[in-house]
Amino acid sequence: MSVCRRRGRHLEFLQTPDFPVNHEASREETRSGDNSTSRLFQPGISPAGMGDKIWLPFPVLLLAALPPVLLPGAAGFTPSLDSDFTFTLPAGQKECFYQPMPLKASLEIEYQVLDGAGLDIDFHLASPEGKTLVFEQRKSDGVHTVETEVGDYMFCFDNTFSTISEKVIFFELILDNMGEQAQEQEDWKKYITGTDMLDMKLEDILESINSIKSRLSKSGHIQTLLRAFEARDRNIQESNFDRVNFWSMVNLVVMVVVSAIQVYMLKSLFEDKRKSRT
Amino acid sequence: MAGVGAGPLRAMGRQALLLLALCATGAWGLYFHIGETEKRCFIEEIPDETMVIGNYRTQMWDKQKEVFLPSTPGLGMHVEVKDPDGKVVLSRQYGSEGRFTFTSHTPGDHQICLHSNSTRMALFAGGKLRVHLDIQVGEHANNYPEIAAKDKLTELQLRARQLLDQVEQIQKEQDYQRYREERFRLTSESTNQRVLWWSIAQTVILILTGIWQMRHLKSFFEAKKLV
């Protein structure tokens, strides 16, 4: 199973995807976790790239039964694979987040500074052993992908270099190849009513539905990205607006005050001279 | 033959064990550490009429065993959600593990703040609380198994429904972006106008002030019979 790079992630790399050929669709499915569909109709056959998925049904069902036993109260909390957060980082502080990862998954983190003087932040990504994988200073945005080992990856945003301005930071985590968890989340088969006919046409429809879903997800992600860019530009503009207003007022006041002071100082010079004469 | 049969089985066993291990530690989901009086806020920029569901789970640091306990009964988190106008939409206390939901009625930046409600200092002697957080917006918040059961949908219908929800969310987001872009354009144009008018006004004021100064000083010197 290859690591799938989501090509449409960054605006510079936008490309129109071709209509899905069978193996390409299954690759997209692998990423969004919809393998279960095609497997239902091809129990014994393993298409290219999905050979190691045949043995999954048993452990999936087994594990579907287990979590409610292992984690009382945690049933129902299955976090999504992609998440984005926007938060405010006060001046002089550092905040760290942790993401647990399984083996051979792919972790992509993308961050942007949306607001705050200078629009820059220090970024630090460390592996579960504590080794620094990425260390960037005073950058306003960045994207990094790592192939993961088992453990908790830590990434930190550091605003200690700034004493007065707080930053608004947006970051997005994209997790690929997380394995069985993805299967479980999309395994709606247990919950549906009615039966579908095992027809070749139906299978085609389901495949194109899957590819539509993954493309819509991609659109959604690009929208999120555009929204972050726009938010940043808007914040820049609004701070320009405030700055223009403020400094114009200051300029006006200073001009008037300085001209008045000049005149009265000159006058006072001459008045003293006259007094000393008499 | 034995190799072919045993290989996948062994791999399956290993993967199952790994997954069991991950289940036991609840280890998939972003988490962060929070101090006792600390408040962590997250901003979600969302269009209107969008549902947001947040899930969190807390773990406390056990100083003696130097490990995080699996769950902390008796410890609660206070969740506060403010809408773009600053009005509080949701302000509630939840247990050590909770799920909060709200629907936005105005588009814009909603602020979701979390802080622990612990008053017993002893609990927090170690000073660290681990919070696992997950926030789902829009169609990601829908629980499709529930919808399938409620409306008795076949799989095809369910998937079509999911696609429709996804498209609807994208469309809402686009409308919201258009509205934001318009406001952005207004702000930019207003800034441009102000810069232009201020430059003209500044030049006029300078000239007027110069004229006033010269006239005032000239009449002053004439009065003092210096000129």
| Distance separating the N- and C-terminal Cα atoms of chain A | 104
A–B interface: beta-carbon pairs under 8 A: 213
Q: How many whole angstroms separate alpha carbon A187 and alpha carbon B186?
A: 47
CA distance B37 to chain A (A): 15
Who wins on pLDDT, B27 or B50? Answer: B50
Q: How many whole angstroms separate alpha carbon B152 and alpha carbon B38?
A: 46
Residue B168 has pLDDT above 80, yes or no: yes
When mean pLDDT is compared across A53-57, B75-79, B87-91, B213-217, the lowest value belongs to A53-57
Residues in chain B: 227
How would you label A206-234 residue by residue, b for 16+ Cβ within 10 Å and e otherwise?
bbebbbbbbbbbbbbbbbbbebbebbbeb
Question: Confidence band (pLDDT; 50, 70, 90) for B72?
Answer: low
Q: Where are the alpha helices (DSSP H) in chain B?
A: 2-25, 144-151, 155-223
B-chain CB neighbours of A226 within 8 Å are 177
- In the three-class reduction of DSSP (H, G, I as helix; E, B as strand; rest coil), residue B219 is classed as helix
> Around Cβ B164, how many Cβ atoms within 10 Å?
11
According to DSSP, the residues that pair with A158 across neighbouring strands are A94, A122
pTM of the predicted model over 0.95: no
A-chain CB neighbours of B194 within 8 Å are 241, 244-245, 248
Partner B contacted by A122 (CB < 8 A): no
**Token couple for B180:** 């934001």
CB of A218 closer than 8 Å to CB of A6: yes
Closest CA to B31 of B55, B52, B53: B55
Who wins on pLDDT, A87 or B24? Answer: A87
Partner B contacted by A165 (CB < 8 A): no
What is the complex's ipTM, to 2 decimals? 0.71
What's the pLDDT at B25?
42
Who wins on pLDDT, B109 or A181? Answer: B109
Who wins on pLDDT, B187 or A71? Answer: B187
Average pLDDT value over all residues in chain B:
79
**What is the percent of chain B with per-residue pLDDT over 70, rounded to a whole number?**
77
Question: Confidence band (pLDDT; 50, 70, 90) for B117?
Answer: confident
Residues of chain A with pLDDT under 70: 1-80, 178-200, 272-278
Calculated CA dihedral for residues A217, B27, B127, A138, nearest 10 degrees? -40
Best of B14, B17, B22 to disrupt the A interface by mutation (most A CBs within 10 Å)? B22
Mean pLDDT of B116-137: 73
